[in-house]
Amino acid sequence: MRTYIFKRLLLMIPTLLGVLTLTFAVVQFVPGGPVEQMVLELKGKGSAAVGGSESSGGGATYRGRQGVDAQRLEEVKALYGFDKPPLERYFMMLGRFARFDLGQSYYQHESVWRLVVSKLPVSISIGLWTFFITYLVSIPLGIAKAVRDGSRFDSVTSTMILVGYAIPGFVLGVLLLVIFGGGSFLQIFPLRGLTSDNWSDLSLIGKVMDYLWHLVLPITASVLGSFAVVTMLTKNSFLEEIRKQYVLTARAKGLAERQVLWKHVFRNAMLPLVTGFPAAFIGAFFTGSLLIETLFSLDGLGLLSYESVMRRDYPVVFGTLYLFTLIGLFTKLISDLCYVYVDPRIQFGSGGGS
């Protein structure tokens, strides 16, 4: 096992380098980088400054320099580090990442670490509630569907969760806002944010209730589409185990159906679900829906990543990519190790296989 873990840790290095190298190479050919944007901004300011200096006597108008001189352009390039060759910038980036220094944002003038930490509360709130509600509802529902396979209950619940899965979260969010957020019908839930403006003045219970009240619409829009996958995975996993020979043997020995289900079937059927918990749990923090965050004015990691890409804020783009990729690789390793914890019969050999 130690050899397997060591090999997996070593394999993370080329994987991480591959992701960063590919992204860095693509970025070199993307137009409209930070230097170009700053040049356009300087041109705009120059035009605005001289545009109103026309002579009132009808003489010629002084337009001033329309472009940016070479010295100023070099200063802009040096400001963003683009005065160095791409290969040198690439190795400088890798050197920072090796020290877990994610760099400084071009436009927000803050470290990437501080930006990520400042956005985490929103992403954690959305992700954690979505994760817990999804699994707390889907697993019991999937077990009930497996036990009642083919019944009317199974058919009705399958139709309901598949309809919910077919509706995009963003569309559902708009619909919820129109109906319950004061759009055209009722104004029951708040439109934006996770807390009210007077949140600091509320009592402890009032703060909790206000926070939960703000979460109702975004969590509903986020969680509804997640039920189908986990529910059907749970149902199919339980059905597969229920039909195996050891279940027939346990029933033949006279064990009660409830005892057969919870003592014998449950552990084996939960294997694919439990091993997916680490990835789902960690991913809940970092995979906040951009559209949901935008719709409900939630300033989380999804919105930060999108704005960074659009503004070509490369330190934030590469810093978050490095951080999320690293977390994803470790989460995958933990998920694989969970197989051994849940089912000791699974062993990883010297070749990394089971």
Average pLDDT, the chain: 81
Structure tokens at 149: 């396979």
pLDDT in the model for residue 193 = 80
Which residue has tokens 């290969």?
87
Are 24 and 318 within 8 A, CB to CB?
yes
Are 328 and 335 within 8 A, CB to CB?
no
pLDDT in the model for residue 296 = 85
In whole angstroms, what is the distance from residue 207 CA to residue 166 CA?
35
Beta bridge partners of 104: 111
pLDDT in the model for residue 153 = 93
pTM given for the model: 0.75
Phi then psi for residue 111, to 5 deg, are -70, 150
* Cβ burial 110-146 (10 Å sphere, 16+ → b, else e): ebbeebbeebbebbbbbbebbbebbbebbbebbbbbb
SS3 track for 200-251: HHCCHHHHHHHHHHHHHHHHHHHHHHHHHHHHHHHHHHHHHHHCCHHHHHHH
Structure tokens at 332: 């995958």
Are 288 and 301 within 8 A, CB to CB?
yes
Average pLDDT over residues 225-229: 84
Structure tokens at 291: 């559209």
Banded pLDDT at 184 (limits 50, 70, 90): low
In whole angstroms, what is the distance from residue 290 CA to residue 86 CA?
31
In whole angstroms, what is the distance from residue 241 CA to residue 273 CA?
14
**pLDDT of 342 strictly over 70:** no
**Alpha-carbon dihedral of residues 280, 326, 81, 29, nearest 10 degrees?**
-70
Report the SS3 class of residue 116: helix
Q: What is the tens place of the pLDDT at every residue in 138-181?
A: 999 999 999 888 899 999 999 999 888 888 888 888 888 888 87
From residue 169, give the alpha-carbon distance in Å to each of 166, 225, 272.
Answer: 9, 7, 26
- What the chain holds in terms of domains, given with CATH numbers, is 118-298 (1.10.3720.10)
pLDDT in the model for residue 38 = 74
In whole angstroms, what is the distance from residue 211 CA to residue 221 CA?
17
In whole angstroms, what is the distance from residue 110 CA to residue 117 CA?
11
- The residue ranking higher by pLDDT, 128 or 40, is 128
Are 310 and 98 within 8 A, CB to CB?
no
Phi then psi for residue 291, to 5 deg, are -65, -40
Rg (CA), the chain: 27
In whole angstroms, what is the distance from residue 94 CA to residue 115 CA?
20
Q: Tally the residues of the chain.
A: 354
In whole angstroms, what is the distance from residue 220 CA to residue 188 CA?
14
pLDDT in the model for residue 16 = 92
Closest CA to 188 of 146, 216, 208: 216
